[in-house]
A and B are shown apart, each in its own frame.
Chain A
């Protein structure tokens, strides 16, 4: 446990040193405040629209940004150490490969969690203080749900980045594959799903289809933040399938947890079998 914390501590202080933590927090805060104030601009007015609308917009933007940031933060976790020549040295220390990877995960995971908490936390407080007739309680629960699911989504993509990082031996390759992962889950997946829906002309089993959304953590994340308001009208495109999912919020949360636990376990397994 001690050596896991030693590794995590170095990652944390690295992200303080290279201003990653600050930069991500700032991006999140700016994004949240911008959406809160100008989110309703399309309907011809400036100002706070409503909590569900703000959260829905944030979640839609979040699925682009959060995976990207998580992948960027973590793609060189192992391959970077190897290229820098420090992996071999680390492995001669009394620390197992699993401890090294878990330490990295703790460090990167905490960095992302802190940035999310600070960035969106500041935005949440600002909305609560500056918007006059906002219902504080519902804003707080929505914000809490949003921040928690954002952290879980980020952890999922950190773990996916590790799967790449322990497998390849060159940093540019890892970066390319990380981008491919982002591209697939954020852009391709929904398109393919939509295409399948249209092409099948309703011949596919109606029970099966909604479950396909569980194969993409970004879809789970959006469902989680939108369905919670009980307003299915906000669900557009393939997400409308989500209203047929028989599992409820708890199931969606569980899905997000699985989406970081499974890739992490996979990365640990792959790393253990890697030749150094």
Chain B
């Protein structure tokens, strides 16, 4: 049973399309990163999965049922972007209220508050909470009742680095227990190590989806080799110039090292040539990061979007 499945889903808001024919799914025990500039359709996709809105076209199935069905939403945890709470109530009162609504055990309330680091502040009114504390309470709220599908919109906003690391550790544990997790974030380097798959949205359509290896292959972006010459840079340069795979690669020197950009399919051939020549002392390989891939997929106009979203 998939955590959710979007099949050819389109959604229009006042006639202007927000989502155009999206196909996306999430399996249990998987962390999906959902990326895109503001207005790309991330929040709309999440709202469709939550059943807050109905698609104009296509099928949304969630946890084997229909989106929005109370029997389904009971097993979904959701942390909205900029989560807000009743300012007059304490953290504990709010979590108890939400636990009752979700049919979760009230014993879970103090445990969860401890777990997100609000143990000392649980009896303070939330109007005294900082942004980070509200975010933690929001997280505790999303974890009520052992969700099978967890959707977090910008979960690390306002969290300090330690709390962020704690959060990712927690998410990994939940994933290993079989929870499907959707993570929306603009802090791409932060989430890169933790996601199993990434989906990149632009202007309402899905530009790419898959694990990082598949995305790299699809993007076909050059891999950067950093070479330490064994004898002299000139000799190493000559070896690379003469190699069969030398077409269109770039050579730069900095700190006595040689940086070579090479197409992924030519990488192994070049490495073999360099190794065989005996002119190289050390090699390090830099794969394109999630951020590089993201920029590649959102296209030339994307940088403007990206600037606007941060």
Partner-B contacts on A (CB < 8 A): 2-3, 6-7, 10, 14, 17-18, 84-86, 88-96, 275-276
Contact = CB atoms under 8 A, between A and B. Distances in A.
Nearest to A90: B101
B74 A85 contact: no
A17 B97 contact: no
Interface in B58-102: 70-71, 73-74, 76, 78, 80, 82-88, 97-98, 100-102
B103 A89 contact: no
Given A91-B52, A92-B52, A93-B73, A84 B88 contact: no
A2 B102 CA distance: 10
A272 to B, nearest CB: 12
Contacts of B101: 3, 6-7, 90, 93-95
B80 A94 contact: no
Interface of B: 50, 52-53, 70-71, 73-74, 76, 78, 80, 82-88, 97-98, 100-103, 141
B209 to A, nearest CB: 24
Residue from B74, B78, B100 whose CB has the most chain A CB atoms within 10 Å = B100
B70 A85 contact: no
Given A10-B97, A91-B52, A85 B88 contact: no
A86 B84 contact: yes
Nearest to B97: A10
Given A10-B97, A92-B73, A94-B102, A85 B84 contact: yes
Contacts of A276: 52-53
A272 B183 CA distance: 29
Contacts of A91: 50, 52
A17 B141 contact: no
A1 B86 CA distance: 23
8 contacts: A3-B101, A6-B97, A6-B101, A88-B52, A88-B80, A91-B52, A94-B102, A95-B101
Q: Report whether over half of chain A's contact residues are helix, strand or loop; otherwise say mixed.
A: helix
Smallest CB-CB A-B distances: 8 pairs:
A85-B84, A94-B70, A6-B100, A94-B74, A92-B78, A93-B101, A94-B73, A92-B50
A264 to B, nearest CB: 22
Contacts of B97: 6, 10
A259 to B, nearest CB: 31
Given A86-B86, A89-B78, A92-B78, 16 more contacts: A6-B97, A18-B88, A84-B84, A84-B85, A84-B86, A84-B87, A85-B82, A89-B141, A92-B73, A93-B102, A94-B70, A94-B74, A94-B103, A95-B70, A96-B70, A276-B52
Contacts of B70: 94-96
A88 B85 CA distance: 11
A84 B50 CA distance: 20
A18 B52 CA distance: 32
A6 B74 CA distance: 15
A95 B103 CA distance: 11
Contacts of B141: 89
B85 A86 contact: yes
Contacts of A96: 70
B88 A14 contact: yes
Contacts of B84: 84-86
Residue from A14, A17, A85 whose CB has the most chain B CB atoms within 10 Å = A85
A17 B86 CA distance: 13
A7 B82 CA distance: 23
Contacts of A17: 88
B100 A92 contact: no
B154 to A, nearest CB: 14
Nearest to B75: A94
A90 B88 CA distance: 17
Contacts of A275: 53
Contacts of B53: 275-276
Contact of A92 (B76, B85, B87, B88): B76
Contacts of B102: 93-94
B80 A89 contact: yes
Contacts of B71: 94
